[in-house]
Chain A
């Protein structure tokens, strides 16, 4: 049998096209990305059909984890600074300039006021460890008292921002109701009756009133 000669082909592939795709995707992700804000605790939010997006700016975020610990945060760095200064003077915490700065650039805060100074003075790694064991910001269902520190934070933040902040509550699906009620009552006592609960989006179940509405909206 005559041998069939197989022409030897080069193993080199033209990478240009692949390179193009890679960088196209890279550009997309670089532009579309918004880094996850570092959060002290992992919170698994429940789902709802609500489609209202979370506001970008002027957000006051109250985080409630599954153990019922409360964390507090606002997004504006300047406001954070003003806030910690006013809390500092109101409670005679004696924070230094560097501790105030460390609050301003930090993430959610979840420490009782009497431990705030030590917390802010600590190194970032120590703080991450602390966040795992902290008891969270003390809150209560009762009216505005000194013990209800959450209420102090919220009240101060609102006054400094000129009532511009939107209150968002990010609570864990497994948090028990009494813990959630603490937050709600605190807000109610401060005359805040409008707030947003952060949820994941889920599909509208077919055959329901909301589904019909959605369909009607689409066909228009």
Chain B
């Protein structure tokens, strides 16, 4: 480059000045600025992690299934969880279908210790014990009935379904809440006040 510049300089100053050696260094600061500006833009607009999904299979609401088949759930294997307001969970053993002998309803919450998880694990153990002692056949499985009431949130529903996955409960169902269950909630609430 330098040579070309020299020859281009013409013949006026023969053997005179040396052409000034230009530095090949470019100031990269603006380029870096621009680079970081674009990085910031992409960082803010990007969605890195794809949302995860939870797959749900609802039972067929086909009317040909008789009530008898639906009510195959045994009292000894069942655990009913009622979801209510302020993330409260009311739970009792069995399906609560015997009006003369109402089940003992307890309140718990979603929490790491002493919450609904321990209730599920306890129940699971009980069912396993019953299987071993012959109270239940090997085909029987713990069944959780989830009954959300009108005051609970979607978060509660997802959390309880997640709890089923966490504790490896194979059989569970979301069922509409009955008037009896609503009474249970009211009674328990009154007793705890």
Please determine whether B150 and A196 come into contact, CB atoms closer than 8 angstroms. no
Residues from 36 to 90 in B contacting A, C-beta threshold 8 Å: 36, 38-39, 42-43, 45-61, 83
A contact face: mostly helix, strand, loop, or mixed: mixed
Please determine whether B162 and A49 come into contact, CB atoms closer than 8 angstroms. yes
A51 CB to closest chain B CB (Å) equals 6
Please determine whether B167 and A209 come into contact, CB atoms closer than 8 angstroms. yes
Please determine whether A49 and B166 come into contact, CB atoms closer than 8 angstroms. yes
Please determine whether B56 and A177 come into contact, CB atoms closer than 8 angstroms. no
Known contacts A26-B42, A199-B54; A193 and B32 CB within 8 A of each other: no
B78 CB to closest chain A CB (Å) equals 19
Across-interface contacts of B38 in A (CB, < 8 A): 26, 30
Please determine whether B165 and A210 come into contact, CB atoms closer than 8 angstroms. yes
Known contacts A15-B28, A19-B35, A174-B154; A194 and B55 CB within 8 A of each other: yes
Residue of A nearest to B177 (CB): A177
Count of CB-CB pairs between chains A and B under 8 Å: 168
B residues lining the A interface (CB < 8 Å): 27-29, 31-32, 35-36, 38-39, 42-43, 45-61, 83, 112, 117, 148-159, 161-162, 165-168
Across-interface contacts of B54 in A (CB, < 8 A): 48, 50, 52, 196-199
6 additional contacts (CB under 8 A) given A48-B162, A168-B53 = A32-B46, A36-B45, A176-B150, A197-B54, A197-B56, A199-B54
B36, B148, B154, B167: residue with the most chain A Cβ atoms closer than 10 Å:
B154
Please determine whether B157 and A50 come into contact, CB atoms closer than 8 angstroms. no
Residue A142 lies at the interface, judged by CB distance under 8 Å to chain B: no
Across-interface contacts of A42 in B (CB, < 8 A): none
Residue of B nearest to A213 (CB): B168
Known contacts A19-B35, A29-B43, A33-B46; A208 and B154 CB within 8 A of each other: no
A202 CB to closest chain B CB (Å) equals 8
9 contacts between A and B (CB under 8 A): A19-B31, A30-B42, A33-B47, A48-B161, A48-B162, A50-B165, A175-B154, A184-B58, A198-B54
Residue A122 lies at the interface, judged by CB distance under 8 Å to chain B: no
Residue of A nearest to B36 (CB): A22
* Cα–Cα, bound, A51→B158 (Å): 14
B156 CB to closest chain A CB (Å) equals 8
A44 CB to closest chain B CB (Å) equals 9
Please determine whether A48 and B158 come into contact, CB atoms closer than 8 angstroms. yes
Residue A139 lies at the interface, judged by CB distance under 8 Å to chain B: no
Kindly list the 9 A-B residue pairs having the minimum CB-CB distance in the complex, ordered from nearest: A22-B35, A15-B28, A29-B42, A209-B168, A173-B155, A196-B53, A50-B54, A33-B46, A48-B162
